[in-house]
Amino acid sequence: MKKLFGTDGIRGVVGKKITPLLAYRTGIAIASVVKTNTCDRPKIIVATDTRASSDCLSLSLCAGITSAGATAINAGTIPTPAVSLLTTECKADAGIMISASHNPHIYNGIKIFDSHGLKLSDELEKRAEDIISDRESASLTYDGKYYSSDMTDIYVSHLLRSNDVALRGFRIGIDTANGASYKSAPLLFKKLCGEVYFINDTPNGVNINENCGSTDVSSLKRLVKEKGLDLGLAFDGDADRLIAVDENGCEADGDAILSLCAKSLLMQGKLKGGVVGTVMSNLSLKKYCESIGVGYAEAAVGDRNVFLKMSELGYNLGGEQSGHIIFSDFSLAGDGQLSAIKLLEALSLLDIPLSHVHSSIKKYPQITVNIYADDNQKERILSSKTVINEYEKSKAALSENGKLILRASGTEPLIRIMAEAPTNEDAERVANHLKIIIESEKNK
């Protein structure tokens, strides 16, 4: 049973769960696990987003890696998907990103990729946990090497090669969330698009994701409307997510982006099989895929689970409503900037504005309710017979006309309820009923 790793690596509040000591021991653990699986002198790429705590954690992580006799290559501030790419491009044995993605600056985290650029498997995460918590010993030699190299240009060049449709006619706004894409996005989109405006691109260590980026597109909406732009693109702190804003200032989430890209790839004869969504995807995405005659499958939450389902089915497109989208012909990880390129290509090839998506994909009302719960409370509440019974009854009542998801967040101290139904009132009623049951159980 894993305790440290959630759905997307290790994550928590800096100074509490996430500490320099944890980073140091994680560096030892990953170097030790990789040694066992690959070679005696593994090479590990380390990168960060723009959080104030990232340098401290990065240095501690690299100290752990070199203590275990491996080579640490500090790639600086780059997006999470860049680490996945660079791990394979540079023939590294692992890649580690220090980031808490879309969370505020007081959080940080450690995301780990294997030599193929994939998120670490459950088996390897468990082995790493055993070393981190001293349940398994690690051999320390203190003779590893450390190098520093900015790899932004390599990553941007890869993204430019993924583009094969002229995009110079677009006038766009980009919100980098004061995060990891603040360097790469200008290099990329100024080359691709005709007119580009950037906001939230001056990180100071504490403003990452603060009222900006993919979790808050209000400032991007204002920019698009004030400048009369074709659309806006918002990334999160580590730039593995994309949320878009149409020319009217309306939001287009991951489901909407997936639907447009599916149609574009289908039209080009490049779509393999269909689309993978998650249990949190809106039912409208499934119905849209059925309407254009392509397959649709659901995976558990998390881009690693999406990729595994894509690999199982042979699909090359999948993603999450939150904006993690995987184009596996170009990247094995969710990549906000790659997704932006493919969205712009789709709009160009289909010759439609982004607002067109709202008429082609009719969303079912969704209500998401978050309830604070620490790890012990999560386990107790979600194993409660009362909660399980009420959840099953409510889920059965919705039948095929809706969806009810109850899960523990893998990145935050929250239990999440997502209810989807034909009407907003129905969704609210189901979500709030389950919330009352859970809060009652929590207070016992």
User: Catalytic residue numbers?
Assistant: 101
In terms of Cα–Cα distance, which of 352, 264, 356, 242 is closest to 316?
264
DSSP codes of every residue in 258-323? HHHHHHHHHHHT---SEEEEETTS-HHHHHHHHHTT-EEEEE-SSHHHHHHHHHHHT-SEEE-TTS
Listed in sequence order, the residues at least 6 apart from 162 whose beta carbon sits closer than 8 Å to its beta carbon are 327, 330, 338, 341, 342
CA pair distance 62, 272, nearest whole angstrom: 40
Q: Which residues pair with 318 in a beta bridge?
A: 276, 326
CA pair distance 336, 101, nearest whole angstrom: 12
- Give kind and range of the element (H or E) at residue 430: helix 424-442
Tokens of 273: 């099989």
- Confirm if 291 and 360 have CB atoms less than 8 A apart: no
Tokens of 367: 């209500």
CB neighbours of residue 158 within 10 Å:
18
Alpha-carbon Rg for the chain, nearest whole angstrom, is 22
